[in-house]
């Protein structure tokens, strides 16, 4: 049986997460699954764990909250937000590109934000981008092309 592909989906909207999980399950069955991270803080807290996972691609929203439903009084790490929510995806993109584990993985910015208005860190270039308003088949095409049609060499 072929190896199940794992997509890291960094997205805070529960409806979007459920929808993408559903269409991916319908299209790829057991050949592909989604691991969700819902906030910038969760990404930072789980970064070491995520780097150990067999992630094959990343889909990243641009506007993300610092945390998802964790009251300040219940926090034990006292991490402070790194900046505005509308730049969270860019900061995570920079973190991913700085990671030996993630830097060469296929990465798609998937957002309602106009990518042409964003400023990316110098030297990293712009990632692939797709609007959340795009038809579902375009997202499925991106996943198919980057996970199932690239071949073992990753080229």
Over residues 30-59, the pLDDT tens digits come to 999 999 999 999 999 999 999 999 999 999
Q: What is the pLDDT of residue 76?
A: 56
Using pLDDT thresholds of 50, 70 and 90, give the confidence band for residue 124. Answer: confident
Q: How far apart are CA 62 and CA 88, in angstroms?
A: 6
Q: What is the pLDDT of residue 69?
A: 55
Is it the case that residue 153 has pLDDT exceeding 50?
no
Asked whether residue 154 is domain-assigned, the answer is: no
Asked whether residue 72 is domain-assigned, the answer is: yes
Asked whether residue 45 is domain-assigned, the answer is: yes
Q: What is the pLDDT of residue 87?
A: 86
Asked whether residue 58 is domain-assigned, the answer is: yes
Asked whether residue 100 is domain-assigned, the answer is: yes
pTM for the whole structure: 0.86
Q: What is the pLDDT of residue 77?
A: 57
Asked whether residue 153 is domain-assigned, the answer is: no
Asked whether residue 155 is domain-assigned, the answer is: no
**Which letter does DSSP use for residue 52 in this model?**
H
Residue 79's domain spans which residues? 5-148
- Evaluate whether 109 touches 129 at the Cβ level (below 8 Å): yes
For residue 60, the number of C-alpha atoms closer than 13 Å in the C-beta half-sphere is 28
Exposed, middle or buried: residue 85 (CB in 10 Å: 0-12, 13-18, 19+)?
Answer: middle
> Smallest Cα–Cα separation from 95: which of 145, 60, 140?
60
Mean pLDDT, all residues of the chain: 86
CATH assignment at residue 16: 3.40.50.2300
Q: How many domains does the chain have?
A: 1
Q: How far apart are CA 151 and CA 148, in angstroms?
A: 7
């Amino acid at each position: 049986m072929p190896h199940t592909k794992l997509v890291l989906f960094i997205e805070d909207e529960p409806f979007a997460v459920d929808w993408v999980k559903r269409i991916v399950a319908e299209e790829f069955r057991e050949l592909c699954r989604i691991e969700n991270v819902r906030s910038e803080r969760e990404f930072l807290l789980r970064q070491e764990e995520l780097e150990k996972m067999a992630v094959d691609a990343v889909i990243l929203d641009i506007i993300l909250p610092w945390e998802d439903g964790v009251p300040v009084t219940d926090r034990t790490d006292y991490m402070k937000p790194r900046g505005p929510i509308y730049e969270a995806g860019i900061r995570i993109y920079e973190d991913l590109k700085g990671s030996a584990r993630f830097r060469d993985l296929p990465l798609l910015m998937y957002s309602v934000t106009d990518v042409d208005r964003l400023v990316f860190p110098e030297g990293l270039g712009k990632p692939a981008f797709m609007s959340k308003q795009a038809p579902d088949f375009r997202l499925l095409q991106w996943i198919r092309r980057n996970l199932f049609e690239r071949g073992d060499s990753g080229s």
